[in-house]
Amino acid sequence: MANVVRVYLEDFGFRELDIASKLLAAVAKYGYPKDFSDVGISLGFNTNSGYVFLTNDDYQVLLLENNKLTIIENDLEEVA
């Protein structure tokens, strides 16, 4: 075992764990959408909005909305 990957879930409640499991199950079944980069993917949870999502090194966000994987693009130039 060369590498161990850890995800810290202490801030996730049962609701968020349920959403995360459905999101990961959808990715396992269908794969990542073709426009979603698979580099540096991590699981996230916004404690203000309640959203559970996957994010990557390109700052894309992948959500499960109405049982469909949905990509949210972040335009960092608008923020800067």
pTM of this structure: 0.85
How far apart (Å, rounded) are the C-alpha atoms in residues 48 and 66? Answer: 21
pLDDT value of residue 47: 92
pLDDT value of residue 1: 53
Mean pLDDT across 7-22: 94
pLDDT value of residue 74: 75
Question: At 21, which amino acid appears?
Answer: S
Q: Which residues pair with 72 in a beta bridge?
A: 61
Tens-digit pLDDT profile for residues 19-36:
999 999 999 999 999 999
Tens-digit pLDDT profile for residues 37-80:
999 999 999 999 999 999 999 999 999 999 999 999 876 655 45
pLDDT value of residue 3: 79
